[in-house]
Each structure stands twice: as C-alpha cells, then as structure tokens.
Copies of this chain bind each other. A is one copy, B any other.
Amino acid sequence: MEITFLGTSAGLPTKERNTQAVALNLAPYSNHIWLFDVGEGTQHQILHHSIKLGKVDHIFLTHMHGDHIFGLPGILTSRSFQGGEGKPLTIVGPKGIKEFVETTLRLSASKLNYPITFIEIDNELSYQHHGFEVSAHLLNHGIASYGYRIEAPSTPGTIDVAALKEIGLEPGPKYQQVKTEETFEHNGHIYDSTQFKGPEKLGPTIAIFGDTKPCPNEKMIAHHADIMVHEGTYLEGDKTLANNYFHSHIDDVFHLVDLAQVKHTLVTHISNRYNIEEVDNLKEKLKEEYGRNDFNIVKDFDVVEF
C-alpha cells in the first residue's frame, strides 16, 4: 500500500505546505484511493500528482474544522470532470458533513454526475469495504474529531501443492476453492483447507488521527498499527499549552507510539510558523533527544510505501 501526503500544515496553508489531506492507495487490495481530510486546495495539489479523482471512491473526514474540509466542495465538483462520471462516492465524517456538502453544492448550483452516499458518524463507526475493516472512535478536540483505524484484508496462505498432490488433487480450478474457502470436497471426502496451505498473511493496519489532545481511545485506534498518521501541532514548547488548545505535543505522540506499540509514525499537521528547513532541523533534534528512529515528520507530497 501507499500513503501520500497532499497537505501537512496546521490551520493555515503556507507557501510550502497545504492544509490537511492524506491519500491512501489501496493497491494491491483494490485499485481505489481513499482520501482522509480535504483542506482547501487539495484539488490543486492533485494536479501536481498522478492521483486520479475518478479512482477516489471514499472520502473520510476526521473533523469539521476548515483546514480539513474547505477543499471538499471543489474536489466534488471537479471530480465530475476528472474521471468521476457515474462512479459512486461515499463520504464518511462527523455529523454536519452532509449539510456542509449539500448546502455548498445547492448554493453554488453545482450538479454532480455521480451519486454520493453519506455516512455520518455518531460516536463510533464500524464499516467494511473492498475487504477493508474501518473503525472510527471519538477523540478529544473540543469539537467531534475522529481517529480512523483501517485494517487491510488478509491474504490467503500459499497453496501446498505437494500435499494436495498426495491426496490426488492435481493443479486446477479446485485450487482456488482451497485458497479461499474453509473446506473443499475431493473424491467424496471433505477436507479442511487450512491443512493444505500456509498461514494467512495479515494485511497492514493503518491509523489516521484527527486533531486531538491525548485521550483514552487513541490506544485502541492505534493498537499495533503498522503505520500511524498523527498530528504534531506542537513539536516543541509547553505540553500543557498544546493540550489546552486540544492538540498534541510531540511528546504525547511518542507516548502513544509506545503505549500502542505502533511500528512507524508519520507526524503531520505541522504548525504554519515553521518552514521546511526548521522542521527538518527539529526532526533531527527530536531523533537525538528521544533516541528513536521510528517516525518521520512529513512534508507535502511525501509518499510512504508499506
């Protein structure tokens, strides 16, 4: 899979960073793309990237602050002209996201050429699509803000051809049944498929957080995640101040990484007061200070494969 950062700034865009948007490419499990948050100018960022809007079939919003949703009306109307025609879109987000989209489209007399399904989260979400399991839980940001946990499908174990030949089953269409079903029939016998293939391979787990100060639900969302995307609005300075503004300090992020045993963390939602060079310097300082190398502070257009 692949995650692309289309915007990594907090609150306001800067010359170097746009407001929030993350694209999750579901390949090899699906040829679709899911967007998480759509700050103003996300469609502009996509112009400079190979992402096709027609491949985006889900947009997830973590919360309703402007730097996370003001690009949504533009993405939706442009999608009509950029490969989205006739391709359904699902928008998942906090209560109010339907009114936001419907009001902006109605007042701008915009007509889309594809249907939208809205899923408004009321406290928590459990959702399945393309074999992915998506759950969302409430964070602590002053307004409703959600963290999404995305579990990729498992891949069936490798067929044990030697063992199947031993029971007289030569390679053929029935091998697919062995691969995907619990049991299969051969010569009047019912066999347990798991005896004829290697162990199932779990797909990666991704946790994508909305803005939040530390809160108990975070551990559940991030538990053993392969990739975690978390805000780090305060990379230095006073932790109490960060939390008073319902945001996380980098120290909070590292605490969560250890608590939830997250494998790799991508820190985004960087304060607009820093330029890229300052952030790179801060990153090196943090690596040294905390003695860790299991994170990155991302920039716009950073791509992470996993």
- Residues of A that sit less than 8 Å from B by CB: 11-15, 18, 40-41, 43-44, 47-48, 64-66, 69-71, 73-74, 77-78, 81-82, 96, 99-100, 103-104, 107-110, 142-143
Contacts and interface: CB of A to CB of B under 8 A. Distances in A.
Nearest to A143: B109
| Dominant SS among interface residues on chain A | loop
Contacts of A12: 43, 78, 81-82
Contacts of A104: 66, 70, 100, 103-104
Given A15-B47, A48-B15, A107 B64 contact: yes
Given A12-B81, A40-B74, A108 B18 contact: no
A199 to B, nearest CB: 47
Given A12-B81, A41-B40, A108 B69 contact: yes
Given A11-B81, A18-B44, A73-B70, A64 B109 contact: yes
Given A14-B47, A40-B74, A66 B110 contact: yes
Nearest to A39: B74
Contacts of A47: 13-15
Contact of A74 (B70, B82, B107, B142): B70
B143 A40 contact: no
Contacts of A41: 40-41, 44
Given A13-B47, A15-B48, A74 B66 contact: yes
A96 B100 contact: no
Contacts of A66: 73-74, 77, 104, 108, 110
